[in-house]
Structure 1
């Protein structure tokens, strides 16, 4: 277990320039091994964006479904989300049993099958089957990607790559919407097939997480992989020391604990249940902000807020997607520069203000429908809403999941987290059309705003600071019941 110390003296004697070059090469290697999971995540964004271009085309005269209505729309949209609610448990199981790397690879299989079925579909049943398969893919990936990136990367680059999850989600949505604006939904489905296919190829050439090897008592392999990924700098060696120390402190009973013992630990130890509760509440509040409702029903929401004749709806949809992508890139930078709590407060407050503005402007437009001046307010509010969502509400929860979830119960905890998040996701997608129709867009946006306010208050009071801290430092701080905010 102590073999990883043997090269410390050599590292200290090397010229500083050589050490920096080695560290730089390891940074690029960390980026490379994360490309597969991130490209697969782009495919998730494409799946989310597909209904935004498919549903409007479904209502054309040439569509094979002649009785498309709000109920059919909601089922087509939510059919991909429903399997996402329970598949995280399988993703967490695979993640613990066969490793993070091969779990990503397996997840790509239903996605490839699903997009092929959608592309060649001639009826509604096959469309829904294909959507269910792509939903299985998303559900399997949910608990795996942030865990893998969090474990495989150093604290300095970890926020950037965890932020890349949200960036690739938004990029996938933009590319799907862009294709669907100019091409048929069948051609768009073939295009979306590329993401799981290419992602699986990159994943094949990636490396397993060293922490998974440690959990499996494969210590020598863990040390070799850790050095391959992270190098042998003083900082990396210190982190490896802490990992090994925590491993030695675990009893053999703990390492081979049953599911019941794992559940018992999760609900009795504050260092395990506290971060999970914070994350579950924050993820659910993010879903009820309307984060995915706008993605799934983009054209309908633009028409409802701006009218059919004000501007080209597809142009506004692409503008919103572009704002999301640019903002997500900015979020990757902000996650390295700002504290997590600061970003949560800025983004959550901005979302709340934008949603209240949308609510008021939509209400006024229902009274004065011909006002050109009032139409500017919802357009600006929608674009600003996408900006604040993309710098905080989308990337921050996934970043925190990669940092806060305790190593001991990471498979179960990440599965429970994704189950709660995707359940909220399904409810939001399924019932949003009902809310918009029966209580009006202005009241619906107020409900979204209240969720944004809840998430902001939650983070301002309970969110611990994880910036520039190793995963073991974060876990130990919860164990000792001390604050990380300093």
Structure 2
């Protein structure tokens, strides 16, 4: 079955799931970029008692609370589900923006920033897990890249809107994407893999084919998941857990990710997000348009993410073609090795 136009209904549902998680990532981007446009306005706002000594706290309270969000996200989505977890953390995210919009002092402003930071920290791991579990492998890489792309779009949106609108008015705009994401998630189904791991195999299979077309590749993937779950030990002791944690298969990817993300943090990209206007104004002369330069930097970041996504897709397509070609050649060689009478049959 195909949607009106060009794609199958199953691909459309996967794209819809990616759209919801991308809106979560876009909302997270607004938190990253908010302090850059908020701090200059606070200095001139007469409706709130503010001291410039709080600048560093306004900028850093959200990233600090993101750590908490990352730590609790795993247990929440493991217990209640990926889709439910995303909807659940959307509630404090909106409440955090509301607290900021109604704030009349720095303490409430910091509280709102902290609450939105917790949700932001949870959104990324939850989004990646949900997309990974509902998407077809051939579309998965591009759908996963959409989360990073959307975060950068969120930063660009925040910087654009935040400069032209009063900061309390801009907060209303920043609540819209997350509300749209919740509406979309309410129309989608829970992750089939999570349902299977919780012993709800029948419902998990129904959800699996709701997202994926019933093909031979999908059947094989589902059988592999069901067999793995069937053979999985129900009672993991401390020894088994440490065996997994200390295994090479776990430590090597962990070390690679740790090094990459550490380099990203130390390259200064997030510092630029939080203090963009300040850094540009203090670095360049007054003749330079700080806002325009900030927009150019955001656009370059967006372009880099998009290029990275297309590059990864091309690499994946090339590897898949080589794999198929190798299988085809191997099959022909095996056919040629058969006796003449047998190959004739």
Is residue 285 from structure 1 mapped to residue 263 from structure 2 by the alignment? yes
Q: CA separation of 1:279/1:466 partners in 2, compared to 1, >3 Å: closer, same or farther? A: farther
Match in the other structure for 1:440: none
Is residue 252 from structure 1 mapped to residue 230 from structure 2 by the alignment? no
Distance 1:177 1:249 in 2: 51
Distance 1:466 1:103 in 2: 34
Show the 5 A alignment for 1:280-359: 280-307=258-285, 309-338=286-315
Contact 1:35/1:203, CA 8 A, preserved across alignment? no
Match in the other structure for 1:43: 27
Distance 1:303 1:468 in 2: 51
Of the three residues 153, 156, 161, the one matched with 1:179 is: 161
Deviations 1:424-463 (A, max 9, x none): xxxxxxxxxxxxxxxxxxxxxxxxxxxxxxxxxxxxxxxx
Distance 1:61 1:224 in 2: 55
SS in 1 for 2:52: coil
Distance 1:226 1:23 in 2: 18
Show the 5 A alignment for 1:137-152: 137-152=119-134
Q: CA separation of 1:120/1:261 partners in 2, compared to 1, >3 Å: closer, same or farther? A: farther
Match in the other structure for 1:273: 251
Match in the other structure for 2:102: 120
Distance 1:186 1:262 in 2: 51
* TM-superposed deviation, 1:226: 1.1
Match in the other structure for 2:48: 64
Structure 1 residue ranges without an equivalent (≥5): 1-16, 341-464, 470-486
Distance 1:145 1:66 in 2: 36
Q: Taking structure 2 as the reference length, what is the TM-score of the superposition?
A: 0.85
Contact 2:59/2:274, CA 8 A, preserved across alignment? yes
Match in the other structure for 2:16: 32
Distance 2:154 2:321 in 1: 27
Deviations 1:443-484 (A, max 9, x none): xxxxxxxxxxxxxxxxxxxxxx99999xxxxxxxxxxxxxxx
Distance 2:314 2:266 in 1: 27
Deviations 1:233-270 (A, max 9, x none): 222222223222322332333xxx36x45641432322
Distance 1:61 1:217 in 2: 55
Distance 1:468 1:291 in 2: 37
- Calculate the aligned-residue CA RMSD, in Å: 2.7
Is residue 211 from structure 1 mapped to residue 193 from structure 2 by the alignment? yes
Match in the other structure for 2:83: 101
Distance 2:45 2:85 in 1: 42
SS in 1 for 2:8: helix
Structure 2 residue ranges without an equivalent (≥5): 324-345
Q: CA separation of 1:197/1:338 partners in 2, compared to 1, >3 Å: closer, same or farther? A: same
Q: CA separation of 1:201/1:61 partners in 2, compared to 1, >3 Å: closer, same or farther? A: closer
Q: Taking structure 1 as the reference length, what is the TM-score of the superposition?
A: 0.61
Distance 1:22 1:60 in 2: 52
* TM-superposed deviation, 1:339: 5.8
SS in 2 for 1:86: helix
SS in 2 for 1:60: coil
Distance 2:321 2:125 in 1: 21
Q: Which has the larger radius of gyration?
A: 2
Contact 2:48/2:103, CA 8 A, preserved across alignment? no
